[in-house]
Amino acid sequence: VGLSEVYCVQHMGAQTYQVAVKSQASMALIVDAGCLGIGSERVPVVPVGPQVTTVACLFLPSYVSNEALVQVLSQYGKVLSVTVGQMGSRRGVLTGTRFVRMEMSAANPVPNYQRVAGHRVTFDYRGMQRVCRKCGSSGHFRAQCNAPFCGRCGVHGHPGDGCVRPCRRCGDGHPTVACPVRRSYVDATTSAFPPLAPSAATTTASSNSGKAEVRHDESPKASVEAPSS
């Protein structure tokens, strides 16, 4: 970050200075670097105020509304905006990946996997603790997972021998995989999928394509604390 990006340098007492820069991008560069170079000195920086994290939402069907996504992520912090990625070679064609800017709670961060409108989606962001997609534990990934599979429940995490858990579908004492209650295709779609708008039921691009451009938010001056060494 050059001097042209610096808006204000204010002495806050003792050996602490508050540095305000002119853009969110400049602040992100400083925070990511972790320090400022002043002459031959390296001065550590401490961000002021809540940090904005960009969370990538993968594998969420395009017909699921942003409101449903915001409702799920709101339990992990304050959602600021939702944008949709576009194909670099085909402007106006969306990739389906959504990018959520939010002030995430440090005590309750967004998990690696979560359900949104009945769909299991993957979240990714810098500093996220990755877990196994199969068993949900940390320290390994799905390809290396040795978690046992229960043939009674149809899930990973415990062996089937001796399992007495009730049916996950109807709650009776029989195995889930042998449940006589079968949902029809209509029941499954109406319970897991939101209703489609007429324009969304076709394969052609709708008018929403023109609204999918990544927006630039005019943010207030960004500040970081810079205690001198």
Give per-residue pLDDT as tens, 48-95: 777 788 999 999 999 999 999 999 999 999 999 999 999 988 888 999
Exposed / middle / buried, residue 102 (Cβ in 10 Å: 0-12, 13-18, 19+): buried
- In sequence order, which residues have a C-beta less than 8 Å from that of residue 106 and are 6 or more positions away? none
Q: Could you tell me which residues come within 8 angstroms of residue 30 by beta carbon, excluding any fewer than 6 positions away?
A: 1, 19, 21, 36, 45, 224
Q: How many CA within 13 A on the CB side of residue 118? A: 10
For domain 50-133, which architecture applies? 2-Layer Sandwich (3.30)
Residue spans per domain, the chain:
3-48, 50-133, 148-181
CA torsion through residues 60, 62, 63, 64, sign? positive
Global pTM value? 0.53
pLDDT at 56: 96
Low-confidence ranges of the chain (pLDDT < 50): 192, 196-220, 229
Q: What is the pLDDT of residue 76?
A: 95
**What is the reported pLDDT for 124?**
94
Strands 46-47 vs 90-104: parallel, antiparallel or unpaired = unpaired
CA distance 148 to 169: 21
